Amino acid sequence: MSSRMNRRDFLRSSLFMGAGLSFANLLPFIQYRIAHAQEQPLRAAMSSAGLQGTWNAQGQEAALWWAKLLGVEVTWFDGEFDPAIQRGKIDQMATEQWDFTAMQPGAIGTLVEPVQAMIDAGIPVIDMDTLIAPLDQLQEMGILTFIAPNNVFMSESAVEVLMDKMGGAGKIAHIGGQPGHTGAQARGQGFLNVVARYPDVEVVTDEPADWDNAKAAALTETILNRHPDLKAIFADNDDMALAARQAVENAGLGDQVFVAGVDAMSPAIQAVADGKLVATARNSATRIHGWAVVAGAYAATVGLEEARKNVPFFVLADGPLITNEIDSNPDLAAEPWKLNNYGMSVIPGLIWAQDNLVF
């Protein structure tokens, strides 16, 4: 081996020449990494918009679980739900050498320069959940892959449930995330797509609460004071939806105002079961962060160009709408396989799957 061969070259040569393996399929690669994690450790950097959010914290938990399995030492750079703070930390990240990096930006466009510097240095970079830059620019930059949910679908599906509960008429409010966050922008668009189809629905408030529970609760109180006849609230994530729901209950309007959110974290799924939220939709933090570690470790091991041949630029981490509805059509009682979800509640199974980091 040449004395000039760097660590990534060594990993690549040992992989292809020593093991004689090709990993177009990720499963053999995962088996390989598990078997060689100690002798071929990797070093990675990851960042999320803000670990104060339960979704982000769960994503970190899943990422660290996969990292331990695959022999990856992860340094975490918390964005603290402040794009300026996150930019400073990503600038710091870009001064070091990593085998791969993965990040969820708090706002589009704020991290382009340091991310480009890492890509130019040959470091594989994975974009998680929200866009670092517009899609065409993201591809030009050389991002390995963008792993994300369908934010418009999640929003539309939850808001449709609210429309049904409202009877297609009345006042509704939207509590948004951070304005620069592309996931929040897409959820806002999904909200507008649905309410536009209901001429008797009035949007009385459409304001951001920046993923801040206290702001969401205060905004809800203000909305209820101005519109005591409010019928529904849609919040861009579960944390804010649950904060809004508590404010609704504090105002004594728990039976009047329907609330829905996005992310389908376990507390929100339980709130759906308890009738406190009418719906949530799953944004899989576990898969987005876990898959990012797998993709990054793969690229670091086989080489970035080889990884580009086998890892798609866009990977959808899909998730369902979750309500407390049970299909109990008596005409199909003798043939439950013809019922939605076999005529059973999905909630216990989804909480079990999420708590075990597989949903």
Answer yes or no: do 343 and 227 share one domain: no
Give the C-alpha separation, 142 to 124, whole Å: 9
Measured CA distances, 203 to 167, 187, 199 (Å): 15, 15, 10
Per DSSP bridges, beta strands 280-281 and 232-235 are: unpaired
What's the pTM value of the predicted model, to 2 decimals? 0.93
Residue 2 placed within a domain: no
| The total number of structural domains that make up the chain | 3
Q: Residue 268 falls within a domain, yes or no? A: yes
Q: Is 348 within a domain?
A: yes
C-alpha 299/C-alpha 317 separation (Å) is 19
Q: Is residue 222 domain-resident?
A: yes
How many angstroms separate the CA atoms of 69 and 297, rounded? 11
293 membership: H or E segment, kind and range? helix 285-302
Same domain, 307 and 296: yes
In a domain, 58, yes or no: yes
Does one domain contain both 51 and 156? no
SS3 332: helix
Q: Tell which residue, 232, 357, 293, 324, has the closest CA to residue 102.
A: 293
Q: In a structure prediction context, what are the per-residue pLDDT tens digits for the chain, which is 359 residues long? A: 333 446 566 566 555 544 445 567 788 899 999 999 999 999 999 999 999 999 999 999 999 999 999 999 999 999 999 999 999 999 999 999 999 999 999 999 999 999 999 999 999 999 999 999 999 999 999 999 999 999 999 999 999 999 999 999 999 999 999 999 999 999 999 999 999 999 999 999 999 999 999 999 999 999 999 999 999 999 999 999 999 999 999 999 999 999 999 999 999 999 999 999 999 999 999 999 999 999 999 999 999 999 999 999 999 999 999 999 999 999 999 999 999 999 999 999 999 999 999 99
Residue 202 DSSP symbol: E
Same domain, 141 and 158: no
Provide the CATH number for the domain around residue 57: 3.40.50.2300
CA 122, chain centre distance (Å) = 26
* Rounded Cα distance, 38 and 35, in Å: 8
Residue numbers of the domain that contains 136: 7-149+285-316
d(CA 205, CA 209): 12
* Whether residue 66 is found in the same domain as residue 88: yes
Q: How far apart are the first and last CA of the chain?
A: 43
For residue 208, being part of any structural domain is answered with yes
